[in-house]
Homo-oligomer: A and B are copies of this chain.
């Protein structure tokens, strides 16, 4: 039996109703080739700074993609180590090929998932694969991709250009010297835009193991005495400015909840001193963390960095996998979150300030119509972030639009965020968003809820002016 052809349909993700599909097609046509703006993600800056050729299909496409690893683990019982996890493990060529086979032979477990869409698009559009993945075709596909990445046209910078990326943000430690970002800026052969993002999570958790060392390092790097809470704030201010000077436009925050109540100065100092001595309780650590997050918002009013939030994940849910493979291997699980009361301290103080902008991402869809659309509909600086992580997929994107448009419209939403480590999946991920937004707008036109001209302008705004405005790009 000859292998089944891989031939992604030009209308995929479009509504089946012929009239709505025609409108959707027209809208999609207007946005599909526009440049990609990626204001939040996890691609290693080294890839572009050093433009190192990729080594093999598995370490490029599979190992770093925890979306895929977790499904092969959960549905097919594959051990993460067989897929090269953690990133950086040495794999022999045989092991690499075998990992890729595991992906292809378990293809049925990906049916209906975004992972299937991304891979099929990537395989076809980026690497010219013409057969559908299966046990039989695994080696053929592996070889074809290997052949591609051995060519100069498949080195990171060439792909960046081919993917038509306008801006790409990385996520970085506050103490990072951003040398690789600077190297790109200084490189006369590079005219792309790769910007850092300030992510201080670990520095804002005073009850976590290792926080004292991190804080001391922060003080050293910033050249600021951090023996008082005021010193800590000043060190943060210095590093935020350093990031801004290196092109950063936003700071990124993910904690167990979205709370941000301020403490009195005295109480903050008292807890800070306890934390430095290593004897702060979990409850006190949370209280101080919420105060510190509030201070990040205060600083944002001054330096204008956009603040992005995506709280409420049980990190490393499976402690055995964490111990064996480390963080970010797929064992994270969302939980319910509350925003209406939690964000009041920040929003009521800074939410209408002209210099303040905040984007809230969530994996708790219940908050869209109940909390986030009402909040963003009122506060000038607040935007509802696109579906993130476990809800970054066709149906959930549609639910997002249907939940937030009524009371926040289109212009209080963030534009798409790919949030990915998987560089080659970036075009496919943005393509899903463009297709589904076109489908949603198309349905509004088909149901006479919006004029075609309005829909067309909106579709274009959502991938151009809107993300530029929201992220101050």
**Contacts A16-B446, A379-B318, A395-B402: A334 and B330 contacting too (C-beta < 8 A)?**
no
Considering only CB atoms, which chain B residue lies closest to A369 in the complex? B391
Q: Are B113 and A409 in contact (CB under 8 A)?
A: yes
Which residues of the partner chain B approach A364 to less than 8 Å between Cβ atoms? Answer: 366, 370
Q: Is A109 in contact with B411, judged by CB distance below 8 angstroms?
A: yes
Chain B residue at minimum C-beta to C-beta distance from A73: B378
The answer to whether B391 touches A406 (Cβ under 8 A) is: yes
Contact with B along A70-83 (1 / 0, CB 8 A): 11011101000000
Stretch at the interface among A92-100, A286-294, A336-344: A336-344
0/1 interface trace, chain A 411-432, chain B, CB 8 Å (1 if under): 1100000000000000000000
- Chain A, 1-60, CB within 8 A of any chain B CB: 4, 8-9, 11-20
A277 is an interface residue with CB less than 8 A from chain B: no
Binds B, one of A162-170, A213-221, A449-457: A449-457
Q: Is A110 an interface residue (CB 8 A)?
A: yes
Instruction: Give Cα distance in the complex from A71 to B453, angstroms.
Output: 22
Q: Does A335 contact B (CB under 8 A)?
A: yes
Q: Are B374 and A333 in contact (CB under 8 A)?
A: yes
Q: Tell whether, in the assembled complex, residue A443 and residue B16 are in contact, meaning their CB atoms are under 8 Å apart.
A: yes
Is A335's CB under 8 angstroms from B331's CB?
no
> Would you give the shortest CB distance from A470 to chain B, in whole angstroms?
12
Say if the beta carbon of A88 comes within 8 Å of chain B.
no
Establish whether residues A378 and B340, one from each chain, have CB atoms under 8 Å apart when the complex forms.
no
Given A16-B19, A376-B74, A378-B73, decide whether A371 and B333 contact each other with a Cβ distance below 8 A. Answer: yes
Report B-chain residues with C-beta under 8 Å of the C-beta of A395.
402-403, 405-406
CA distance A457 to B107 in the complex (A): 13
- The answer on a CB contact under 8 Å between B13 and A74 is no
| Minimum distance in angstroms from A104 CB to a CB of chain B | 14
Is A393 in contact with chain B by the CB < 8 A criterion?
yes
Q: How many residues of A contact B (CB 8 A)?
A: 94
State whether A406 touches B371 (Cβ < 8 A).
Answer: no
Q: Which residues of B contact A335 (CB under 8 A)?
A: 338, 340-341, 370-371
Contact between A378 and B317, CB atoms less than 8 A apart: yes
CA distance A196 to B71 in the complex (A): 33
Q: Is the CB of A412 within 8 A of B378?
A: no
Q: How far is the CB of A76 from chain B (nearest CB, A)?
A: 9
> Are B108 and A457 touching (Cβ within 8 A)?
yes
How often does this chain occur in the complex, in copies? Answer: 3
A382's nearest neighbour on chain B, judged by CB, is B74
Q: Decide yes or no whether A194 CB sits under 8 A from chain B.
A: no
**A383 vs B132: C-alpha distance when bound (angstroms):** 27
**Distance between Cα atoms of A44 and B370 in the complex (Å):** 28
Q: Is A308 an interface residue (CB 8 A)?
A: no
Provide the A122-153 mask, 1 if CB < 8 A to any CB of B, else 0. Answer: 00000000001000000000000000000000
Q: Specify which of B340, B393, B411 is in contact with A407 (CB 8 Å cutoff).
A: B393
Inter-subunit contact B15/A447 (CB<8 Å): yes
Known: A112-B450, A406-B393, A447-B15. A314 touches B366 (CB 8 A): no
Any chain B CB within 8 A of the CB of A433? no
The residue from B108, B366, B373 contacting A366, defined by CB atoms under 8 A apart = B366
Instruction: Tell yes or no: A390 within 8 A of B by CB.
Output: yes
Contacts of A354 in B (CB 8 A): 77
How far is A377 from B73 in the complex, measured between Cα atoms in Å?
8
Determine if A371 and B108 form an interchain contact, defined as CB atoms under 8 angstroms apart. Answer: no
Interfacial chain B residues near A370, Cβ < 8 Å:
334-336, 363-366, 390
Q: Decide yes or no whether A182 CB sits under 8 A from chain B.
A: no
A449 and B13 within 8 A (CB): yes
Q: Which residues of B contact A91 (CB under 8 A)?
A: none
Contact with B along A379-403 (1 / 0, CB 8 A): 1101000000011011110010011
**A-B complex: 8 closest residue pairs judged by Cβ atoms:** A393-B406, A9-B448, A16-B446, A12-B448, A335-B340, A112-B405, A395-B402, A333-B340
